[in-house]
Each structure stands twice: as C-alpha cells, then as structure tokens.
Amino acid sequence: MASNLSHSHEEIVEQLDLMLRARYPLIYLVGVEEEPIEEVLAEVCDRASRELRRWDIVRGWDDTGADKGSAIAALGRIAKASNDKSAVYVLRDLHPVLKFPLQASNVPIVREIKNLARDLKRSRKTLILTSHSLDVPQEFIEEMTVIDFPLPNTQEIDTLISQVVVPEKLKLSQLGKEQLVKACQGLSRARIQRVLAKAIAAKQHISEQDIDSVLEAKRQAIRQTGILEFFTTQESLKSVGGLDNLKKWVQMRQDSFTEEARRYGIPNPKGVLLAGIQGTGKSLSAKTIAHEWRLPLLRLDAGRLFGGLVGESESRVRQMIRIVEAIAPCVLWMDEIDKAFGNINAGMDGDSGTSRRVFGSLITWMQEKTSPVFIVATANNVQILPAELLRKGRFDEIFFLNLPTEPERREIFRVHLQRLRSSRLREFDLTLLARQTHQFSGAEIEQTIIDGMQRAFSQGSLGNRRDFTTEDIVQAIEETVPLAAIARDQIDGLKQWAANSGARPASQDVQLIEELRAITRQRGIDF
C-alpha cells in the first residue's frame, strides 16, 4: 500500500493522471473535504476523455440512480462494464464497510473489491474510494495506493480569498494580506470561505481585525480533531529563568525558517528533545521557542494518537501530519512523549503492536520530513524511550534540564515576582529565597510564591488584606518537601543518562558539567 503525504493540488492531478495511465486498479483518496477531491478527479478525467461515474449508498450511481443501498451491486456494475473504455468509478464513504472486525454481511464486499483489484489491472478501468477516514483491510495492502488529499497551501488560499472577497472589500495592506493567508493555513477550503463570508456579511469588508476571527476558527478546527491543540503564547525567553545554554541555542536559530536562510543554504531545523525531571521548564521552553521564532504552536498529546479501533491510531498519525504540514512553518510540541512510547521495544505496550506501528510512522516522518515543522519533544523519564528516537537525525539537539542552580533560582524568583508585584520587586530578598530553595524545581519555586500569597491573604479580613512578603514565601518554602528530596535516585539516573547520551546541559551549570565530565571520563568518552 503506497502513501503520499504532502502533495499539492497540481501534484495530485499529475500523480493521479500518471496512475490512471499506468492502470493502477485501486486508489484510496483520504480528505476532509469531498468537493475538492471530486473537482480534481473531474479534471484528471477531462484530460484524457475518461468516463467518470460516482456512487454513494443513499443516491446510487450519479447517472442512473441505480444500486441504492447496495455496495455489492455497485461493484457488480464495475465488473460488467466494458474493459475497452477508459473509466473511473468513485465509491464514496465505503469506510464503515471496510472497518475491522468485518461484519459477516460485509465480507462479500471486501472479497469483490479484491476480485476487482485483480481484474482491473487488465482493463482501462480504475476504482477509487473516497473518505475522510482511512480504513484499509489487510487484504488490500498490496493492491491499494493511498493518497492524502492536502489542505490548501498558501497559493490556493490566496486564490480562495480572491474568489470570496472582491478587491474593493479587501481593506488590508500587503503585510495584512500575508498575515491573513498565514492565519488560514491548516483550515479546510469550506471553513476559510465561511469565515470570510461571515466577516463580509457583518461589515461588508475584510480588515486586519478579521485575522483574529480566522485564528479562532483555526483553534476550533484543530481542537475538533481531538489530537492537537492550537496555542497562542506570549511567553518570551525573558519569561524563563536560567537555561542559558538553551536560550542561546534558540536565539541563534531564530531566523532559520526565513527565505534568507533557505538562500544561504541552511536546512530547516528539525527539533529538540528536552529531558529532565518534572517542573524544570520543559513545557515553558516549548512555548517560548514558538514565541521567539514567531511561529504558531501546536501541542500534541501523544497519548491521543491511540484509538480503540484497529487502524484508527495509524489514521490519527496521518491526520496529525496532514494538519501540521498544512500549517508549517510551525512548532509541534510533543508533550511527555515518554508516556506514550516508553518501553515499547521491551514488549510492554500491551496493545498488539499498535504503539510500535504508530511510533514507527512518527519517527519515519520525523527523519524524512521536508516541511518546516520544528519538533519540541519533552520527556521526564527519558531513560525508557526507544534508542531509535534519540539517535542523530531525529533531533538537532538533546538538552538535559537539571534542577536550577542558586543564581538560576534567584532569576526564577525575579521573573515570577516581577510579573506579580513589579512595583515591589526590590522589597523581596531574592538572594535569601534562592538560598532557601536548594533542590527546588522552577515549578516548585512558583508554587511557594503562590502559597506565600495565599498565607498573607488569609490572614486579613474583607477589604483589609495585607500584601505578601519575603517571610511569607520563606514560611511556604519551609513547609514544602521538594520532589528532589524523595526522587534522588531518579535525578542521579537522569544525570547518568545525560552523560552517556551526550545530551547538552540546558543551563550553564558548572557543577553539573563537571559531574558529567567525571562520568564520561570514567567511560573513556570525551565530553
């Protein structure tokens, strides 16, 4: 079963025309929109005067209305048609029939499609299945070619805008027009047309303010997939305390997705893996990378890729890839990837190999993708991840996020207190707070400030609340047991992993670097 994941409209027309001339018997077109797919099929058939016939279970064949409610009868028409005439037969939404496990009533349909796939090789007829969902029985794997119909690219979006909005109603600068096109990336053609039509109906023109409406439509569309989330983030590198090595790495590559970088010959950055114990800033770093590079951020919970039905998980991976490549350039944040793919090579996934198949599809795409999708993967228990994910080529760099040092803790306190009480920042003893929070993570530091605020707030009365002080935070610190105090073995194990894997420290942590050097020297490895 062949698969093509990133075709443009023109490429699909050319590819389909070539397949029909080569007498491919069975093609499966997957796409969220039916009308554009059939427009492409009509264009392909017009090129060589091919007959085009469409069938669905409700209306039957489009030319006669025959065979309503009977897929087996529809397949019978294809089998009986003349082999001398070039024809394309399209069966819409047959995926419920093909889902595993097959119902006894559906077995003859699968058998007849398999018969046709063999017979059509010797004819000028082609059977094309169209659906929003990919459901392919094992019987078809060797005979079927699968093509994912793409969401519109920037050129097509620009054309769509011109078709929906007459020039005099487009109240946008050239930069605004580019931003509107970029905002529409990742949306279906129908959804783009609806959003633009709504704006015109409301105020008779399209302006910069309507870009927010498009972004909201994108957020809703992505949320509806149940796989991805669209984030609008305002966190800059100034929002991150410490992690100076990681910050420098990000700043050095902030223009790497520009056309100037392409002309210079720099390839698109692939991504980073951020590994470390909980609360050390991995998720915040993913958000800041997207903000610094001025790219949209999509969050993937890898656990959501897994569906309950056979084949559903693989279909979700394809859907995820189709969306992120349509929105690219973008940042794809794979959160806590160790929870989804930890221990799969040890046979501990317990799902009949689904995890391994999904993981295989994902890392193949990560290795071979040419679209500008930058992946930020985070992991707490990185030691259980498969070695294939960690090898060179999947990521540009692997960073190890250790517990913050005292100077970094001081900076973390400064960042949070600046945001909460900027006018009172000088009243807090940051040095004392940093010294008191040895082995605290960044998340734990933030929580001590919140606990200190709660303590001060609770000691006042309605309308007479006192503001919190250094002493309130110190009291919260003394009442907190950091994770590091009960997870020392885990931290030591992560440091050992960082030394063996060659991961770079995200911080300019001299003590950590010396520890890693000592470990690597014991193994005869240069650090």
CATH classification code of 406-438+442-481:
1.10.8
CATH classification code of 154-224:
1.10.8
* CATH fold for the domain made of 231-401: Rossmann fold (3.40.50)
Residues in CB range of 308: below 8 A, 6 or more apart: none
| pLDDT under 50: residue ranges of the chain | 1-6, 525-527
pLDDT, residue 520, reads 56
Residues in CB range of 331: below 8 A, 6 or more apart: 286, 289, 290, 293, 295, 296, 297, 298, 373, 374, 375, 376
Cβ neighbours of 352 (radius 10 Å): 9
Q: How far is CA 277 from the centre of its chain?
A: 23
DSSP 206-245: B-TTHHHHHHHHHHHHHHHTTSEEEE-----GGGS-S-HH
- Pairwise CA distance, residues 414 & 416, whole Å: 6
Indicate the domain borders of the chain: 2-148, 154-224, 231-401, 406-438+442-481
pLDDT, residue 66, reads 94
pLDDT, residue 8, reads 65
Domains 154-224 and 406-438+442-481 share a fold: yes
pLDDT, residue 258, reads 84
- Pairwise CA distance, residues 452 & 281, whole Å: 21
CATH superfamily of the 2-148 domain: P-loop containing nucleotide triphosphate hydrolases (3.40.50.300)
- Pairwise CA distance, residues 38 & 159, whole Å: 19
pLDDT, residue 348, reads 52
